[in-house]
A = this chain, B = another copy of it.
């Protein structure tokens, strides 16, 4: 049961046939099935996620990470507090986040929160832009068990042929270029766009254009932080985990609150039960 738990946790959104477990542990399918019921109920009670049972010959079990509203609240409140530390303020009103986005524990929580929104929605690939979006994309990709692709502002020979799009950098109003390796995205793929921080939304808009350029579909947009932008960003619906409300460089004051995550998220109620399929 311990090793089954580990195996499932390491493979979110992956259908594991019951026969795989019964062979791995030389157990009858019925006792595997009983163990899975216990695991499912524990996951439900602790808010770990859904253990979905797919019946039939091609069936099996699948672990789908979710979060409870309470857990999301405590995570986002704690992060807001940490971002409100005054020594994060950099000249020009920029906010230093590199330490947070280099902590495995923070990234794990960020990844799970964003992935939980897509527990029941199709995502084929996570897209981000170098450099600081990468850790977030990787964490989200981990919990969705999907690959991530990295758009770059500078092309490298090791990417092979690339597709490039121009975009207007919102904060500086300059036209810039971003590129993505041609072989990374398939037409029709459902693409979840993520980034570390959004000000004017220009970079996000560039990635949305990139998705279209590949004839792929936008599954959603999620950013770790957003600034309190005045005016219209003119971008599709997005989710933010944190909003930096107030940056006062003169008095070295910065204030962050949870973003629109709660308004954007349908929390899935997990109900433990003794029998049958949870769905």
Binding site for B on A (CB under 8 A): 1-3, 5-6, 9-11, 38-39, 42-43, 46, 48, 90-92, 94-99, 102-105, 107-108, 130-132, 134-135, 138-139, 141-142, 145-150, 152, 154, 156-160, 181, 183-184, 197
Contacts and interface: CB of A to CB of B under 8 A. Distances in A.
Most buried by B among A104, A142, A149, A197: A104
Contacts of A154: 154
Contact of A2 (B1, B95, B158): B1
A97 B5 contact: no
Contacts of A141: 102, 104
Nearest to A11: B105
A104 B146 contact: yes
A184 B160 CA distance: 33
A1 B1 contact: yes
Nearest to A196: B158
A2 B94 CA distance: 43
A5 B98 CA distance: 30
